Amino acid sequence: MTTPTPHADADAEHGSVDAMILAGSRPGGDAMADSRGIAVKALIPVAGKAMLAHVTGALLGHPAIGNVHLLAQDFEPFWAHPDTQALAANDHVIAQESGATIAVSVDALLDRDDARYPMLITTADNVLLSGAMIDEFLSDAQSSDIAIAVVEKDVLLSRYPASRRTWLKLRGGQYSGANLFYFGSPQARQILRYWAEVEQDRKKGWKILTIFGPWLLFLAVTRLLTIDQLAARVGQKLGLRIRIVPMAQAEACIDVDKESDLVQAEGILAGRAGMP
C-alpha cells in the first residue's frame, strides 16, 4: 500500500488545521455496501460520486485545512477507484491503517510525528460536508480541547420534517451528532479511552455518561442539565475545555447510514448543483 508523505512546506502552503477521515469498515461489513457488491462503504456512489470523494473534496478544497489523514483497513480499493485514486498521489493526503477499534486507530494516528493539532475529525459518509459547515465549526471550536458539532432537533425538522435521527434529550433541547469533532490539543486524546468503551453502542449517546458516574447520568436523563452544562461537567471531570457547537445548517447531521439517508442526501446535492 502506498502511504504518501506530507509536503515539507504544508504549513506554509496550506491551512492551519489538519483533518482526519474515518473511512474504514465496521466489523461484519456494511449492508449498503454488500447489497451493491462494493468493497467498502466509503465507495458507495452518492449523486454519481463515491462518498469519500465528496468528503475529501470539501476538506482539500478548504483554505483552513492542511493535511488530510485517511483511516481505513485497506486502501487498495480507494487507489483503484476512479473517484479516489488521485488521493494516492496527493501530497496532502496521508494514509494510516486502522487498528482494532476506532478509538485505538485515532489514538495511533495522533501519536504519529506527522499528526498535528488542531485536528478536525469526520467520517467518510458525511457527504454533505461543505465549506460553510467547516467555517462555522472551526470558528466556534477555537480555544477548546475538544469540540463536538450537533444539530438541534428544531433546526433539522424545520428544514427536513421527514428526517429521522437519534436524539440526545437534554434540558432546553434535543440534539443529534453532526459527525464533526475537533481535537484542539494533545490533552483531548484522553477522551478516547471513554470513546473506546461506548463505540459499539454509538447510537446510544447517553451510555457514555455512565462512565462519568451515576450522578451525572441522573442529571442528564432527568433533563436537569443543558447540553453546555453537561459538557462543562464532563470537561471539569477530565480537566478539558469541551465545547458544544450547535450547527446552523440542518444538513450537518445528515450522514448516509441507510438507504433513506442516501435518497435524501442525493436530493440535497442535486439542489446544490442547481443553485446559481
pLDDT digits (tens, 9 = 90+) for 76-102: 999 999 999 999 999 999 999 998 788
Rounded-to-integer distance, Cα 25 and Cα 193, Å = 21
276: pLDDT strictly greater than 90: no
Beta carbons of 136 and 155 less than 8 angstroms apart: no
Q: Report H helices in the chain.
A: 10-13, 31-36, 51-60, 76-80, 102-110, 131-141, 153-159, 191-198, 207-211, 214-221, 227-238, 259-273
Q: How far is CA 12 from CA 9, 16, 68, 276, in A?
A: 5, 9, 15, 33
- Average pLDDT, stretch 125-142? 97
For residue 176, give the 3-state DSSP assignment: strand
Q: How far is CA 124 from CA 24, 153, 249, in A?
A: 8, 23, 19
Rounded-to-integer distance, Cα 148 and Cα 136, Å = 12
Q: How far is CA 1 from CA 4, 75, 136, 202, 246, in A?
A: 10, 7, 35, 30, 39
Residue found under cell 442547481: 274
Using N-to-C axis directions, what is the helix angle for 51-60 and 131-141, rounded to 10°?
A: 60
- Give the per-residue pLDDT at 199: 59
9: pLDDT strictly greater than 50: no
Q: How many CB atoms lie under 10 A from the CB of residue 59?
A: 27
Lowest mean pLDDT among 77-91, 149-163, 200-214, 261-275: 200-214
Domain 15-192+240-273 = CATH 3.90.550.10:
yes
DSSP 25-72: --TT--HHHHHHT-SSGGGSEETTEEHHHHHHHHHHTSTTEEEEEEEE
- Average pLDDT, stretch 211-233? 71
pTM of the model: 0.87
Q: Where are the domains of the chain?
A: 15-192+240-273
pLDDT band for position 219 (cuts 50, 70, 90)? low
Retrieve residue 209's grid coordinates.
455518561
pLDDT digits (tens, 9 = 90+) for 255-272: 999 999 999 999 999 998
Q: Who has greater pLDDT, 85 or 222?
A: 85
Residue 121 amino acid letter: I
pLDDT band for position 164 (cuts 50, 70, 90)? confident
Using N-to-C axis directions, what is the helix angle for 102-110 and 191-198, rounded to 10°?
A: 160
Of the chain, the percentage scoring pLDDT greater than 70 comes to: 84
Retrieve residue 71's grid coordinates.
483511516
